[in-house]
Amino acid sequence: MATDTMTKPVIDGGTTKTRVFKNFIDGEWVESNSGETFEDRNPADTREVVAIFQRSNKADVDGAVDAARRAFAKWRLVPAPRRAEMVFRAAEILIERKEEHARDMTREMGKVLKETRGDVQEAIDAAYYNAGEGRRLFGPTVPSELPNKFAMAVRQPIGVCGMITPWNFPMAISSWKLLPAIVCGNACVIKPAQDTPLSTFNLVQALTDAGVPRGVINVIAGYGPEAGAPLTEHPSVRAVSFTGSSAVGRTIGTTAAKSFKPCSLELGGKNPMIVLDDANLDLAVEGGLWGAFGTTGQRCTATSRIIVQKGVYHKFVDHFVARAKKIRVGNGLDETVEMGPAVNEKQLTTDLNYIEIGKNEGAKLITGGNRLDQGELQHGWFLEPTVFIDVDPKMRIAQEEIFGPVVAIIPCEDLEDAIAIANNIEYGLSSSLYTKDVNKAFAAVRDLEAGITYINAPTIGAEVHLPFGGTKATGNGHREGGIGAVDFYTEWKSIYVDYSDTLQKAQIDRGE
């Protein structure tokens, strides 16, 4: 067992034994070749071990990829509608297990129950959507330039797909990757984040119970350098999908490029919410609070910058700060709690370091900024909802992704100034604008440099049937969700059928 234990585990629910999970390879539960395990602990109460997982290595990756490669040979020949029916059945199973899986997720990741229920629901929604795609893997038929010749293009699966998922949406993002991939006929090896493997295992169990054959989906738990890197480097892995930090994504993208593998990267964000003078201020305040402090700010789409026109700046700040001070922080299993902990000590330390950076830069810390470690919170990684005001757009807290409940409020002159501030960033994931002026709304939709733009809503809340992703350092142009996922997990094959019974030489022989 790993040596990074803290204290004796608290056993949840009166059980007498902590659950131990093996890797899931070729339809079997197997121990890691390393002989080592690691603990999945509750960030709200680190005394509790939620479960124990295998600490996988290259040999485990090799076994999982070999299993996926063998399964792909048969799975690609299963008609897409049949593949999709299994995904539909998985959605029905997830509905039955929704509360159980939500509670597991809150215990391993920390976010409150209403959010983990939403995370499971997103996986359900993704399953229903992708089940429909099994009958909609459309390709074009086009008129040929020659007589008695038929031309069309079809989608074909790629092969074995390697997937690495983050900890903040441990079931939803796993579903974004796995479900379209298998409906398209691929086989998969997925490595979930070491902080939240249980939710991915729960999703894969539902898919297995729904009839997905052995080897089509394989799960290995472990750490990035030991298991993630060998997965992205494996020569039999034909495509890689990664969601996580820009630094790691840059490494994975470079590795994939060496062997010409398609590589989907969904990376960081520093998302602006613009509030104009004519906005519904109460709505903007509520939206900003949800966008900034939902999931403890641990979303790539989190509202980390709020850019407010000077005519309503002070009124917005007063209302926003008053509400932020009332947010109840605690264990997400408590239905009255509004914000949970940071996912681990490292993330909490990052949050606290950026708070010091903001103060040193001259931003005004108007509320929050402190670790909460008294009473019931003493065993968790809790932080106060934190608000900086009068922030200069060039400050690090306004430029760098923090990934915590820390928001920077920035004054602006008008819409043009706000858009300039919003765009002056290396990221381009999500953005939003609060206004009652339809002309300004459409100008912002056109001019904001982001993959997602909301009008009169915060920067969070994407739906599974539209493409998800961003511009600039947020990714490499691919999209998850909707048709974007189908595009990534398939390759085009163009087909020409000449029934003229003569040799036609295309552009050379036009019959002129």
| 8 A C-beta contact, residue 185 and residue 486 | no
State whether residue 150 is helix, strand or coil: strand
pLDDT tens digits for 174-208?
999 999 999 999 999 999 999 999 999 999 999 99
Element (DSSP H or E) covering residue 103: helix 98-109
Single out the residue of 116, 287, 262, 283 nearest to residue 203, CA to CA.
Answer: 116
Q: Do 97 and 174 reside in the same domain of the chain? A: yes
Is 263 found in the same domain as 119? Answer: yes
- Predicted local confidence at residue 507, as pLDDT: 81
Amino acid letter for position 13: G
- 224 and 315 belong to one structural domain: no
| Model confidence pLDDT, tens digit, residues 109-152 | 999 999 999 999 999 999 999 999 999 999 999 999 999 999 99
Q: How confident is the model at residue 509 (pLDDT cuts 50, 70, 90)?
A: confident
Known catalytic residue: 266? yes
pLDDT tens digits, one per residue of 406-434: 999 999 999 999 999 999 999 999 999 99
For residue 123, tell me if it sits in a domain. Answer: yes
Same domain, 179 and 294: no
Express each pLDDT in 270-281 by its tens digit: 999 999 999 999
| Same-domain pairing of 104 and 226 | yes
pLDDT at residue 11 in the model: 32
Are 89 and 198 members of one domain? Answer: yes
pLDDT of 298 strictly over 70 = yes
Does a structural domain hold residue 239? yes
Do residues 109 and 206 both lie within one domain?
yes
In terms of pLDDT, which residue wins out, 17 or 108?
108
Give the end of a domain, one of 425, 455, 485.
455
Buried b (16+ CB within 10 A) or exposed e, 41-77: bbbbbbebbbbbbbbbbbebbebbbbbbbebbeebbe
pLDDT of residue 510: 65
- Looking at the fold, whether 482 and 433 belong to one and the same domain comes out as no
pLDDT at 512: 57
Domain that holds residue 449: 271-455
pLDDT of 9 strictly over 70: no
Query: By three-state DSSP, how is residue 348 classified?
Result: helix
Digit-coded pLDDT (tens) for 352-396: 999 999 999 999 999 999 999 999 999 999 999 999 999 999 999
At residue 10, does pLDDT exceed 90?
Answer: no
Instruction: Tell me which of 161, 188, 263, 300 is the catalytic residue.
Output: 300
Do 258 and 278 fall within a single domain? no
Tell me, yes or no, whether 236 and 329 share the same domain: no
Judge whether 85 lies within some domain. yes
Catalytic residue among 39, 266, 401, 480: 266
Q: What is the pLDDT of residue 5?
A: 30
> Is 250 a domain residue?
yes
**Looking at the domain assignment, is residue 174 inside a domain?**
yes
Q: How far apart, in Å, are the Cα atoms of 337 and each of 120, 295, 316, 333, 505?
A: 19, 12, 24, 8, 71
Indicate which CATH number applies to the domain containing 355: 3.40.309.10
Categorize the per-residue pLDDT at 4 as very low, low, confident or very high, splitting at 50, 70 and 90: very low
| DSSP of 281-294 | HHHHHHHHHHHHHG
Domain count, the chain: 2
Is 283 inside a domain boundary? yes
- Tell me, yes or no, whether 498 lies in a domain: no
The CATH number of the domain holding residue 260 is 3.40.605.10
pLDDT tens per residue, range 201-245: 999 999 999 999 999 999 999 999 999 999 999 999 999 999 999
Same domain, 90 and 224: yes
**CA contacts within 13 A on the Cβ side of 326:** 9
Is the Cβ–Cβ distance between 224 and 242 less than 8 Å?
no
Is residue 470 within 8 A of residue 110, CB to CB? The reply is no
Tens digit of each residue's pLDDT (9 = 90 or more) over 243-277: 999 999 999 999 999 999 999 999 999 999 999 99
511 pLDDT band (50/70/90 cuts)?
low
Rounded mean pLDDT of the chain? 95
| 406 part of a folded domain | yes
Confidence of residue 8 (pLDDT cuts 50, 70, 90): very low
User: Distances from the Cα of 295 to the Cαs of 141, 290, 338, 404, in angstroms?
Assistant: 45, 9, 9, 9
Q: What is the mean pLDDT of residues 70-98?
A: 98
Task: Verify whether residue 300 is a known catalytic residue.
Answer: yes
Determine the pLDDT at residue 3: 31
What is the Cβ-side half-sphere exposure of residue 201, based on CA atoms within 13 angstroms? 26
Residues 211 and 286 reside in one and the same domain: no
Mean pLDDT of 99-107: 98
